[in-house]
């Protein structure tokens, strides 16, 4: 329904309109106002779509009403009604803002409706265009981008006010010439800029022009800017015009986009500056704190990345509150932060800051309407003259941070010479392990798993040994932790898996025994999506059925990698692989884990078995674990059985499977084969 306002002092004008509108099925609703004041009120506040306004209102002019309405911002279309077709009056009405005019008595309901519909459509189009222009103007006014517009080949170019202010100029201070742009480009960036710019004009590169370069600011400094644009082409494909935007990305290149802290680029620049200053001033000292958040991954995996990001921002604010303005707090990525403590002359200055950080990050955070707790492990490296590069200082702070995590988290460690020696040892072991994998120095040993009642073999646990060409047989305690801290453990585990699967298949065929093989699976496998596929390939390569394989997984896997671990374990279970919890009882020991994940059994840790020789507390713990396993229908293998007393105690408690020195030590494959032959 169209709401039509008639402003006319003659009653017959109202009656005439009502009469002609009644003749047709019109969707026009008429409202009549008879004088200047009520007519103006209707125009300003009435909410009408179109107005018919008489040229003469008693002693007032309709033109005056039209002008006043327009002065008050009235936008609805107003049609002037005249008693005669005077071109002068009509022209005057249009000049005052009338949308159209009609001569009284010369129009019908159909022609009136046609005029009204046309004006409504035009008004709506004008409103849409006006809204679009206003939005564009507001967007450009509030935008951080500068705009440019160039007719190809001309010296003149249009630079918006924002474009000039990015470079420190007022709108009238920088000439609107294309050379004003080119001459301010850094010498090292000019060739690439012109190459990208001209390539787009020729149409030989991408559909859009984009280039990042440096422009000289009015104060002489350099601004990193990102320029985007697009050419308009004629029918022959020739560029006739090119326009685009200019964005100041100087801060983006040096700030972490999530937290607003310094990023790696800015942090390394500050650290380099500190090294240069130390070279000039022997009394200058500074310190580096490497901070890794405790339990952040659990929070991120449980509540999602949005909550994780919110927590990182909150942590950044607290870190800033722990240092001075002259210090630099940076986020290197993920949940790793570093702090450069400038002018750290006091011996305990870095430790006081570290204590303050641990205290601050130990307080609760309110994230996603939840109260969350995290913490921090901090490594500290104090600068002295033996450091030659920033990378060395960062490396040592990182090493100290890992020591802090290993010592129990929620603490700080200062790097010292002993750690340096340890770091060199780790590097040496890691390099040696890589060589050992390539030169087949790694050998798989086999420790039997037996039925405690009969002493007959049920299977073996595969254990890796390193036959070093110079050091002889290297203890796993010397190289497994190093492998765990790197990707080498994945390669090492897969080597053991393939070797053990092939060996077991050979023994099953030779001795006609239904043996199984147990292989350790590092937590690093469960942060990948390929492990189930790797296991399947190893089984297929050996021709071994999946039910003969037992993968031993530590409890920490299900705690540190809950979602990833569940998916991988479900895939392995679907293959038919038996899954066992290794070292049960010494880690998190979450009972919910035992029925949440598809485990078939558990390994009773040797620390409980060792206590069975005399400690009643160990006996009760073992009794409880066996009761839980029986209730959940889980197999139990006791490991580390060394004495007759331990064997008898386990038998009395109902344990039926075990391994340990009491029965056999880990053996090379040839010795294990002889042991099997003796049992047959």
Helix (H), strand (E), coil (C) string for 511-552:
HCCCCEEEEECCHHHHHCCCHHHHHHHHHHHHCCCHHHEEEE
Q: If you write DSSP's letter for every residue of 43-83 in order, what string do you get?
A: HHHS--SEEEEESEETTEEHHHHHHHHHHTT--S-EEEEES
pLDDT digits (tens, 9 = 90+) for 140-153: 555 568 899 999 99
Mean pLDDT of the chain: 87
- What number of helices (H) and strands (E) belong to the chain? 24, 28
Residue 127 Cα distances to 67, 133, 137, 516, angstroms: 20, 10, 15, 80
Instruction: Answer whether residue 137 shows pLDDT above 80.
Output: no
Q: Rounded CA gap, 448 and 363, in Å?
A: 49
Query: What backbone phi and psi angles, to 5 degrees, belong to 127?
Result: -65, -45
Annotation: CATH topology of 2-139: Rossmann fold (3.40.50)
Q: Rounded CA gap, 154 and 613, in Å?
A: 96
Q: Rounded CA gap, 491 and 505, in Å?
A: 21
What is the CB neighbour count within 10 angstroms for residue 227? 21
CATH of segment(s) 143-248 = 3.30.450.20
All structural domains of the chain with their residue ranges: 2-139, 143-248, 264-415, 428-679
pLDDT digits (tens, 9 = 90+) for 8-63: 988 888 888 888 887 766 678 889 998 998 999 889 887 888 889 888 887 888 88
Q: What is the pLDDT of residue 589?
A: 53
pLDDT digits (tens, 9 = 90+) for 447-483: 999 999 999 999 999 999 999 888 888 888 888 888 8
Q: Rounded CA gap, 5 and 11, in Å?
A: 14
Q: What is the pLDDT of residue 93?
A: 80
And the tokens for 672?
């294990």
Instruction: Answer whether residue 444 shows pLDDT above 60.
Output: yes
What is the CB neighbour count within 10 angstroms for residue 304? 12
> Is residue 347 very low, low, confident or very high in pLDDT (cuts 50, 70, 90)?
low
Architecture of the domain spanning 428-679? Alpha-Beta Barrel (3.20)
User: Which run of H or of E encompasses 380?
Assistant: strand 375-382
According to CATH, the superfamily of the domain at 264-415 is Reverse transcriptase/Diguanylate cyclase domain (3.30.70.270)
C-alpha 644: how far from chain center: 56
pLDDT digits (tens, 9 = 90+) for 124-135: 877 777 766 566
Q: Rounded CA gap, 403 and 267, in Å?
A: 23
């Amino acid at each position: 329904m169209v709401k039509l306002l008639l402003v006319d002092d003659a009653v017959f004008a109202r009656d005439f309109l009502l009469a002609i509108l009644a003749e047709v099925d019109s969707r026009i609703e008429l409202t009549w106002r008879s004088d200047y004041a009520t007519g103006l009120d209707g125009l300003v506040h009435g909410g009408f779509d179109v107005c018919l306004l008489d040229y003469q209102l008693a002693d007032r002019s309709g033109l005056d009403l039209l002008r006043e309405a327009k002065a008050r911002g009235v936008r609805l279309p107003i049609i002037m009604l005249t008693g005669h077709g005077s071109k002068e009056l009509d022209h005057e009405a249009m000049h005052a803002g009338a949308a159209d005019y009609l001569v009284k008595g010369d129009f019908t309901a159909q022609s009136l409706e046609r005029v009204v519909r046309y004006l409504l459509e035009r008004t709506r189009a004008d409103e849409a265009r006006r809204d679009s222009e206003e939005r564009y103007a507001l967007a450009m006014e509030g935008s951080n981008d500068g705009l440019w517009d160039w007719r190809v080949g001309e010296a003149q170019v249009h630079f918006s006010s924002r474009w000039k202010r990015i470079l420190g100029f007022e709108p009238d201070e920088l000439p609107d010439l294309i050379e004003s742009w080119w001459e301010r480009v850094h010498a090292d960036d000019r060739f690439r800029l012109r190459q990208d710019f001209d390539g787009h004009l020729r149409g030989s590169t991408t559909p859009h022009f984009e280039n990042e370069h440096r422009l000289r600011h009015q104060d002489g400094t350099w601004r990193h800017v990102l320029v985007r644009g697009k050419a308009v082409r004629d029918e022959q494909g020739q560029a006739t015009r090119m326009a685009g935007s200019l964005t100041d990305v100087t801060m983006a290149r040096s700030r972490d986009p999530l937290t607003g802290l310094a990023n790696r680029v800015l942090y390394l620049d500050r650290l380099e500056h500190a090294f240069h200053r130390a070279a000039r001033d022997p009394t200058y000292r500074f310190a580096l704190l490497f901070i890794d958040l405790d339990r952040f991954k659990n929070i991120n995996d449980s509540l999602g990345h949005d909550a994780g990001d919110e927590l990182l921002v909150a942590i950044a604010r607290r870190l800033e509150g722990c240092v001075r303005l002259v210090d630099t707090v940076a986020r290197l990525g993920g949940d790793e932060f570093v702090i450069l403590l400038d002018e750290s002359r006091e011996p305990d200055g870095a430790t006081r800051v570290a204590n303050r950080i641990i205290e601050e990050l130990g307080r609760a955070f309110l994230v996603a309407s939840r109260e969350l707790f995290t913490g921090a492990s901090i490594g500290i490296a104090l600068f002295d003259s033996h450091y030659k590069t920033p990378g060395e200082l960062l490396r040592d702070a990182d090493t100290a941070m890992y020591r802090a995590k290993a010592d129990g988290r929620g603490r700080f460690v200062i790097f010292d010479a002993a750690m340096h020696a340890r770091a060199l040892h780790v590097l040496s072991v890691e390099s040696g392990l890589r060589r050992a994998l390539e030169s087949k120095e790694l050998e798989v040993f086999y420790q039997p798993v037996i039925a405690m009642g009969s002493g007959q073999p049920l299977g073996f646990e595969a254990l890796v040994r390193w036959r070093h060409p110079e050091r002889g047989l290297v203890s796993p305690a010397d190289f497994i932790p190093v492998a765990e801290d790197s990707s080498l453990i994945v390669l090492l585990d897969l080597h053991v898996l393939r070797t053990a699967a092939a060996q077991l298949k050979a023994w099953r065929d030779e001795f006609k025994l239904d043996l199984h093989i147990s292989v350790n699976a590092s937590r690093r496998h469960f942060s990948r999506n390929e492990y189930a596929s790797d296991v399947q390939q190893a089984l297929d390569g050996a021709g071994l059925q999946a039910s003969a394989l037992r993968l031993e997984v530590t409890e920490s896997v299900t705690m540190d990698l809950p979602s990833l671990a569940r998916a991988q374990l479900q895939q392995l279970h679907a293959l038919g692989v038996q899954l066992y919890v290794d070292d049960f009882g010494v880690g998190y020991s979450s009972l919910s884990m035992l029925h949440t994940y598809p485990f078939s059994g558990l390994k009773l840790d040797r620390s409980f078995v060792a206590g069975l020789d005399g400690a009643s507390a160990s006996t009760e713990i073992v009794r409880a674990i066996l009761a839980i396993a029986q209730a959940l229908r889980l197999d139990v293998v006791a490991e580390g059985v060394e004495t007759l007393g331990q064997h008898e105690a386990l038998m009395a408690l109902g344990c039926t499977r075990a391994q340990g020195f009491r029965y056999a030590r880990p053996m090379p494959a040839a010795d294990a084969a002889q042991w099997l032959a003796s049992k047959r």
